[in-house]
Structure 1
Amino acid sequence: MLREMVNKLPASEKKIAEFIIESPQEAISYTAQELGERSQTSGAAVIRLCKSLGLNGLQELKLRVAGDLQKTYEVGYRDISPNEPLESILKKMTTNSIQALSETADIINFEELQKAADALFHARSIHFFGVGSSAIIAQDAQQKFLRINKHVTTFSDVHMAAMLAANATEEDVVFGISFSGKTTEVTKVLELANQTGAKTISLTSYGQSPVSNRASINLFSSASRESVFRSGATSSRLAQLHVIDILFMSVATMQYEESIERLDQTRAAIDFIQGNEEKNKGSKK
């Protein structure tokens, strides 16, 4: 969180964040006042930093830093090099994926996650929207929630998404997905949804952004960094898919018996379609 947010913070908070990143073991032993003095700021600035990070206070920040110091995975997302051996690519991409999932689990806010699950569970209709690689996440969310009989739509076409948002009601959920949090189309679709009174949820990388600021419920995935060959994009996509999976399982368990029945029905429907296709192939032969 600190590495992702450091360049977005006000000057005094940035100095504290940089001090913690450089000297984490030392930082967790200080009080707010001591940490402010060591970073040449103030105790009040330390408290403001915690608020900027969405944390309840210095104690939570110190616990998170201490937890990170205990982790054994390799820190830092690694990109590929020219003529990289396949074995090395496999190791790097696996490491990146594990780190993205671990970081996402660390930054999830359970209160916001519960609000999102409740909103999706009670929604009359759910409209997922993303652009580019985030559109793939939206499509994945659609097929998952359709399997448990939720009324779900997703359109990568912004005009279609705008029409849906404009006609949404307070019984509906509009779910905007943008890793950067700066996608103009997603921001505007959420603005439209807010005007109609629909519940709005965002899924972005960690930190405040135009997209998260337009949503009433904010979910964050790992703040993996982009790189030359966009291996960050593969890690961020996996992290976003992970959040969608968590939401799907949360809603499914809230209607457990019905979900089991619906999943069986959808599985049988697919088997039926595939069975007919096999029969048609056989008759043509």
Structure 2
Amino acid sequence: MARSAISSIRSYYPNLSKLHQKIADFVFAQPQMVSELTINQLADKVGVSTASISRFAKAVGYNNFREFSMDLANVTTDINRDTMFKKIHPDDTPNEMAEKTFQAMIDALISTQSLLHNDRLEQIVDQILKCRQLAFFGLGGSSVAALDGYHKFLRTSINSEYYPDFDVQLMQAAKMTEKDCAIMISHSGENQQALTVLKQLQNNHVPVIAITSYGRSSLAQRADYVLLSLADQVNKTSDGMYTLIAQLALIDSLFTIVAVKLANKTEAVMDRVREAIDRTRT
């Protein structure tokens, strides 16, 4: 959990007020120092009230400032604003660009993993295990992760569905019931077509598992379960690309847990799938 405090702040940052973003920027710059301050000391240094600090801690997912401060104390000393928002420059060598790209992907995985909690994973997996049908929803760049999830879960005994077209996704959502389960993937959590599908799912009382990058997005606020996929920004346009790596890792994690719990059934399904594919290669 060494990076959860920083990761949590970043997931909420775009939707924070200007005042709370000011506090967040101060934390980003000196996380270790901030973790050692009392709420009064931090308020004095930032130039805000203690009530603002308290509201900030709650706005980024904590019950109170003490809980936030304790989590922030676990942040390693080499995590600072420069490394989190490292830029790729035109005068970088190809090897330097590749190194920064790899590092951004590694950071995305570490940040995402730091926000996983065992209890929440158990709840999500239980929901998947008991569903009649598991449907994946994702549009645009998120369709890649949705297709990957569908492809993975085809190897289990759970009935899975995914359609890339928005209209078909909407029809798919209209047919689902409370006995089913939906995994909805959206980097921003604000895609209007995705939210239209979400509304239909909720009208049918379908449990929704959201995978998104922003904890205060419309999707995250309205879903039954949320998994945050985070990425250290290289620049604004590439942020979604690095988040995709985290999305895929979350889906792989869910698949692995489900497959292990359904070991006997999964092995039987995978044997039949392999046999079917092998017949096409002879």
Pairwise TM-score range, normalised by the shorter structure:
0.7 to 0.9
Match of 2:187 in 1: 179
CA RMSD, 1 decimal? 2.4
CA distance in 1, matches of 2:241, 2:256: 23
Match of 1:282 in 2: none
TM-score, normalised to structure 1, is 0.86
Match of 2:58 in 1: 51
Please list every run of 5 or more consecutive structure 1 residues that lacks an aligned counterpart in the other structure: 276-285
Matches within 5 A, 1:72-151: 75-78=83-86, 80-82=88-90, 85-151=93-159
CA distance in 2, matches of 1:5, 1:265: 44
CA distance in 1, matches of 2:20, 2:258: 38
Please list every run of 5 or more consecutive structure 2 residues that lacks an aligned counterpart in the other structure: 1-7
1:88 match: secondary structure: helix
**Change beyond 3 A, Cα 1:12–1:190:** same
Residue type of the alignment partner of 2:95:
E
Match of 2:33 in 1: 26
2:42 paired residue among 35, 38, 57: 35
Q: Is the 8 A contact 2:11 2:230 kept in 1?
A: no
Does residue 1:269 correspond to 2:276, yes or no? yes
CA-CA distance at 1:271 after TM superposition: 2.0
CA distance in 1, matches of 2:28, 2:140: 33
Does residue 1:218 correspond to 2:229, yes or no? no
CA distance in 1, matches of 2:87, 2:26: 27
CA-CA distance at 1:82 after TM superposition: 4.2
Match of 2:3 in 1: none
Count of aligned pairs between the two proteins = 274
Relative contact order, higher structure (CA 8 A, sep 6+): 2
**Change beyond 3 A, Cα 1:55–1:260:** farther
Q: Is the 8 A contact 2:104 2:233 kept in 1?
A: no
Does residue 1:248 correspond to 2:255, yes or no? yes
1:111 match: secondary structure: helix
Match of 2:161 in 1: 153
Q: Is the 8 A contact 1:126 1:153 kept in 2?
A: yes
**Change beyond 3 A, Cα 1:70–1:23:** closer
1:201 match: secondary structure: strand
> After the TM superposition, which of the residue ranges 64-73 and 215-224 deviates more from structure 2?
64-73
1:19 match: secondary structure: helix
TM-score, normalised to structure 2, is 0.86
Residue type of the alignment partner of 2:184:
G
2:242 match: secondary structure: helix
User: Identity rate of aligned residues, in percent?
Assistant: 28
| Deviations, residues 17-72 of structure 1 (Å, cap 9, x unaligned) | 22222332221112334323332333333332222222343344234433333457
CA distance in 1, matches of 2:262, 2:70: 35
Residue type of the alignment partner of 1:209:
S
Q: Is the 8 A contact 2:181 2:208 kept in 1?
A: yes
